[in-house]
């Protein structure tokens, strides 16, 4: 009477908890997952192919559309890779570097806020959504007042920044950052000691450090497993060496630890932003572009460069033939794509409702997974 | 391996190595020396750019090489990317290259391994060394048609199964191909989606489509392999059974007011 009855069920692609168009083929026994197989590609737009057919500056708007909730870091990774290939990394003015760092950290906060809102809603906590979107809205307003766009920012250029900061921008961001720490406490008061939240997240999707590295997992999921590794510290770029911040790590590598890591990362981002304000004010206004040729034609060669995006290690691998204005090949190493690969290992043996927690905790954006 | 789980606070990145070193000098670099000494006879070459070391290896021995590097501390396979060198200026030799970017937590440094291959020759899969290689290799196979032998599940990952062609090959047209998917069989008798091989004008027409399809004429089918852009005003294919009196040439050039306000 109580025999094992295996069933195959489609989870998604049209499912609100898959955060886009992720399809997971589930083999389940009752509610327990025997096997989960992610099926991706529904949002494939051939970004890498397009990169090969347009000049380097034209590629920057396309990078926006990969991880579309963290486009500033996508821009940053791309322009830094091209700058590294051209050998002009050291020429970027200090003010431009600080602006890049500030936009990246604001983007990290806004990406984590979106993650928190959707992750909490997936697990049944509706309230945090309203709180986090209140702050996220303000950050998007800062983006809008800097570059005119809220999501697809296209806010960086090879060799510097497109424009100087608008008047009053620094003061507005400073006022926001000053009160933002209290907001994080507010979110935490809703979730961190919440019994339901703990029951839904503790012990779910445990990844050991060795497993995490073997799966190539980076970003908050890796740090949640207890590996203190952050590209901002390990392979610093821009002016991160001058900025003090801590790398939060988890102990158990479960969904709860990854939640705590991301919450602490938001705090660290506010510390970084606070250190940036006096530094930006000390730099001459308008000094935001390195002197480079208008025609971007990097030398022949291949280069890999990566940055710490909110999701993990975002890398670009560019092969240039040295003759044309476009990349011969530009491969993107998206953190979501690689992190998602561990989903079957994490989901095995858990309930279907925990799969929702796992998809949320990996923090995937399908635009980046499929490119 | 116990030492891989708790990388100490990372050392500052090593200073960029001087450019222009010879192959032997690169092989003796302290970063790679211990791993290279185990597979010295498989090294085909080495080069260096902006402080990144690239080592070329014998394709058939890549698993052995990967193990040597993993044992030497490169426990994290960062990236695996294929490149089609068929249109690379001045390139002779094998068509494809696959790059493995590795990272060592102890040394806080990356190294790139590269192998050459062509359409037929498979590369031994390194999924047994790093599990993360699984999807990377599937993507490389899907996008470039590079074969990996010994892969547990080498199937398409981003494109749909049954897709004809490898999109990142240099002879694949950027505008796409006739996929064979029959979305509107009465409109597209040869198959193909609305974007397949269309000119820019046709795409615009589809977006403002309100009335009958046949007004907008027949869709040209891009040729895979040729890579040449279709002619501006493609003639209807003679082999295609023209189902309706299609008026490709007589397609309305100017859109009317009611068409435009969709």
Euclidean distance between CA atoms A59 and A156, whole angstroms: 11
CB contacts, 8 Å: B140 with chain A = none
**Is the pLDDT higher at B111 or at B244?**
B111
SS3 A60: helix
pLDDT at A259: 92
| Residue in A53, A235, A317 nearest the CB of B174 | A53
Per the CB < 8 A criterion, the answer to whether B222 and B197 are in contact is yes
Within 8 A of B143 by CB-CB distance, chain A residues are 48
Chain B residues with CB inside 8 Å of A313's CB? 78
List of chain A residues whose C-beta atoms are within 8 Å of the C-beta of residue B131: 214-216
Burial class (CB in 10 A: 0-12, 13-18, 19+), B170: middle
Check residue A41 and give its pLDDT: 87
Structure tokens at A89: 């990394």
A80 vs chain B: nearest CA distance in angstroms?
13
Structural contact between residues A331 and A77, judged by C-beta atoms closer than 8 angstroms = no
Cβ separation of B130 and A214 shorter than 8 Å?
Answer: yes
Tell me what percent of the residues of chain B surpass a pLDDT of 70.
60
Question: Which residue in chain A is spatially nearest to B1 when comparing CA positions?
Answer: A210
Give the pLDDT confidence score for residue B247 in this predicted structure. Answer: 41
* B131-164: b (≥16 Cβ within 10 Å) or e: bbbbbbbbbbbbbbbbbbeebeebebbbbeeebe
- Which residues in chain B have their CB less than 8 angstroms from residue A35's CB? none
Mutate to test the interface with A, among B158, B167, B177, B179 (most CBs of A within 10 A): B158
Terminal CA-CA length for chain B: 62
Task: Flag whether residue B10 sits within 8 Å of chain A, measured between CB atoms.
Answer: yes
pLDDT tens digit string along B63-96? Answer: 999 999 999 889 999 999 999 998 888 888 888 9
Nearest CA among A358, A356, A313, A360 for reference residue A338: A313
Strand order, beta sheet including A312-320 = A301-309, A312-320, A329-333
Task: State which H helix or E strand residue B89 sits in.
Answer: none
Which of B50, B107, B134, B160 to mutate: most A Cβ within 10 Å? B50
Q: Where are the beta strands (DSSP E) in B11-159?
A: 43-49, 52-57, 76-84, 96-104, 109-117, 123-124, 148-149
B228 interfacial to chain A (CB closer than 8 Å):
no
A179: buried, middle or exposed (CB in 10 Å: 19+, 13-18, 0-12)? exposed
Cα dihedral A26, B135, A43, A123 sign = positive
Q: Shortest CA distance to A339 belongs to which of A318, A316, A322, A360?
A: A360
What does DSSP assign to residue B253?
A: S
Q: 85-114 in B: which are within 8 Å (CB) of A?
A: 88-89, 99, 101, 105, 108, 110, 112
What residue of A is the nearest CA neighbor of B155? A39
- Contact state of B167 with A227 under an 8 Å Cβ cutoff: no
Distance CA A353, CA A68 (A): 26
Q: Give the distance from residue B13's alpha carbon to the nearest chain A alpha carbon, in angstroms.
A: 6
Q: What is the pLDDT along chain A (371 residues), one digit of tens a residue?
A: 566 678 888 887 877 777 778 888 888 888 889 888 898 988 898 899 989 888 899 899 999 998 889 999 999 999 999 999 888 888 899 999 999 999 999 999 999 999 999 999 988 888 899 999 999 999 999 999 998 888 899 989 998 898 889 988 999 999 999 999 899 998 999 888 889 999 889 888 898 999 899 999 999 999 999 898 999 988 888 889 889 899 999 888 899 999 999 999 999 999 999 999 999 999 888 888 888 888 888 888 899 999 999 999 999 999 998 888 888 999 999 999 999 999 999 988 889 888 888 998 988 888 899 88
| pLDDT value of position A77 | 92
Chain B residue numbers touching A229 (CB-CB < 8 A): 7, 10, 105
Would you say residue B3 has pLDDT above 50?
no
| pLDDT for position B184 | 47
Average pLDDT, chain B: 70
Q: What residues of A are in contact with residue B7 (Cβ under 8 Å)?
A: 227-229
Distance, in Å, from the CA atom of A10 to the CA atom of A37, rounded to the nearest integer, reads 10
Residue A119 contacts by C-beta under 8 Å, 6 or more apart in sequence?
A259, A357, A360, A361, A363
Q: What is the pLDDT of residue A222?
A: 92
The CA distance from B213 to the nearest CA of chain A, in Å, is 25
Task: Give, as one character, the DSSP assignment of residue A208.
Answer: -
- Name the residue among B52, B88, B139 with its Cβ closest to that of A321: B88
Span B162-212, pLDDT tens digits? 677 788 888 887 777 766 554 444 444 444 444 444 444 443 333 333 344
Q: Which of A41, A235, A319 sits opposite B159 (nearest CB)?
A: A41
In whole angstroms, what is the distance from residue A130 CA to residue B137 CA? 41
Q: Give the gap in angstroms from C-alpha A131 to the nearest C-alpha of chain B.
A: 35
**What chain A residue is nearest to B78 in terms of C-alpha separation?**
A216
Reported in sequence order, the residue ranges of B70-154 that DSSP labels E, i.e. its strands, are 76-84, 96-104, 109-117, 123-124, 148-149
Interface test with B, best of A331, A344, A368 (most B CBs within 10 A): A331
Picking from A44, A210, A302, the nearest residue to B158 by CB comes out as: A44
> Contact at 8 Å (CB) between A184 and A154?
no
Q: What is the pLDDT of residue A115?
A: 92
Strands in B109-117's sheet, in edge-to-edge order, are: B43-49, B52-57, B109-117, B96-104, B76-84
Q: Do B13 and A234 touch (CB under 8 A)?
A: yes
User: Which residue do the tokens 């049209």 mark?
Assistant: A14
A338·B135 Cβ contact <8 A: yes
What is the structure's pLDDT at B164? 73
Specify the pLDDT at position B179. Answer: 61
Write down the pLDDT at residue B180: 53
For residue A107, which of A74, A83, A81 has the smallest C-alpha distance? A74
Contact (CB<8Å) B4/A210: yes
Cβ–Cβ contact B224 with A under 8 A: no
Question: Residue A215: which of A123, A345, A333 has the closest Cα?
Answer: A345
The pLDDT assigned to A218 comes to 92
> According to the model, what pLDDT value does residue A133 have?
92
- Is pLDDT of B231 > 70? no
What mean pLDDT do residues B27-33 have? 80
Interatomic CA distance for residues A229 and A207, integer angstroms: 15
- What local confidence, expressed as pLDDT, does residue B181 receive? 53
Closest partner residue to A216 (CB to CB) among B9, B77, B105 is B77
The one-character DSSP state at B179 is: -
Nearest-CA neighbor of B213 among B247, B253, B175? B247
pLDDT in tens, B134-157: 999 999 999 998 999 988 988 888
Burial of B68 per CB tally in 10 Å (0-12, 13-18, 19+): buried
Do the chains contact at A341 and B132, CB–CB below 8 Å?
Answer: yes
Alpha-carbon span A67 to A33, nearest angstrom: 29
Check CB contact of B171 with chain A, cutoff 8 Å. no
Q: Do B130 and A341 touch (CB under 8 A)?
A: no
How far off is chain B from A196, nearest CA to CA, in Å?
31
Q: What local confidence, expressed as pLDDT, does residue B210 receive?
A: 39
């Amino acid at each position: 009477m109580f025999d094992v009855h295996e069933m195959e069920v489609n989870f998604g692609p049209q499912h609100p908890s898959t955060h886009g168009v992720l399809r997971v083929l589930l083999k389940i026994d009752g509610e327990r997952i025997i096997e989960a197989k992610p099926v991706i590609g529904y949002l494939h737009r051939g970004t890498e192919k397009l990169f090969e057919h347009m000049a380097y500056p034209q590629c920057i708007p396309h990078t926006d559309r990969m991880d579309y909730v963290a486009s500033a870091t996508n821009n940053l990774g791309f322009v830094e890779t091209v700058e590294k290939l051209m050998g002009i990394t050291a020429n970027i003015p200090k003010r431009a570097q600080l602006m890049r760092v500030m936009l990246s950290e604001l983007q990290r906060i806004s990406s984590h806020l979106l993650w928190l809102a959707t992750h909490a809603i997936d697990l049944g906590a509706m309230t945090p959504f309203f709180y986090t979107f209140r702050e996220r809205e303000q950050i998007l307003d800062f983006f809008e007042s800097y570059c005119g766009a809220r999501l697809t920012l296209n806010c960086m250029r090879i060799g510097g920044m497109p424009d100087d900061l608008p008047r009053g921008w620094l003061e507005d961001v400073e006022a926001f950052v000053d009160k933002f720490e209290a907001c994080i406490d507010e979110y935490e008061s809703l979730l961190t000691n919440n019994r339901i939240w703990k029951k839904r997240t503790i012990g779910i999707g445990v990844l050991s450090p060795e497993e995490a590295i073997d799966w190539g997992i980076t970003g908050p999921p890796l740090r949640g497993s207890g590996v203190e590794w952050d590209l901002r510290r390990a392979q610093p770029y821009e002016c991160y060496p001058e900025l003090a911040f801590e790398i939060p790590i988890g102990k158990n590598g479960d969904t709860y630890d990854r939640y705590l890591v991301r919450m602490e990362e938001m705090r660290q981002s506010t510390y970084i932003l606070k250190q940036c304000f006096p530094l930006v004010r000390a730099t001459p206004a308008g000094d935001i572009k390195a002197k480079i040729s208008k025609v971007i034609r990097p030398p022949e060669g291949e280069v890999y460069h990566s940055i710490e995006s909110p999701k993990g290690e975002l890398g670009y691998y560019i092969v240039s033939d040295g003759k044309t204005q476009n990349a011969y090949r530009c491969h993107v190493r998206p953190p979501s794509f690689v992190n998602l690969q561990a989903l079957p290992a994490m989901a095995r043996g858990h309930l279907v409702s925990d799969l929702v927690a796992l998809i949320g905790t990996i923090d995937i954006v399908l635009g980046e997974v499929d490119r | 391996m116990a030492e891989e789980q708790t990388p100490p606070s990372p050392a500052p990145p090593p200073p960029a190595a001087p450019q222009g070193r010879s192959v032997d000098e690169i092989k003796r670099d302290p970063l790679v020396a211990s791993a290279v000494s185990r597979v010295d006879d498989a090294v085909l070459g080495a080069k260096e750019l902006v402080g990144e070391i690239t080592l070329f290896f014998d394709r058939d021995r890549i698993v052995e090489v990967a193990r040597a590097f993993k044992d030497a501390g490169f426990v994290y396979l960062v990236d695996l990317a294929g490149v089609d060198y068929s249109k690379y200026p001045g390139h002779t030799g094998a068509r494809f290259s696959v790059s493995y970017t590795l990272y060592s937590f102890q040394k806080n440094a990356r190294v790139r391994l590269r192998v050459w291959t062509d359409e037929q020759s498979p590369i031994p899969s390194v999924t047994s060394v790093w599990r993360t290689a699984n999807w990377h290799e599937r993507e490389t196979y899907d996008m470039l048609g590079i074969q990996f032998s010994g892969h547990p599940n080498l199937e398409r990952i981003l494109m749909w199964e049954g897709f004809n062609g490898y999109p990142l090959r240099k002879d694949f047209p950027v505008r796409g191909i006739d996929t064979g998917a029959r979305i509107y069989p009465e409109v597209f008798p040869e198959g193909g989606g609305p974007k397949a091989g269309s000119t820019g004008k046709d795409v615009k027409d589809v977006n403002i489509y309100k009335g009958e399809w046949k007004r907008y004429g027949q869709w040209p089918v891009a040729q895979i392999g040729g890579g040449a852009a279709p002619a501006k005003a493609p003639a209807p294919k003679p082999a295609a059974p023209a189902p309706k009196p299609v008026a490709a040439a007589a397609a309305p050039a100017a859109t009317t007011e009611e068409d435009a306000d969709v």
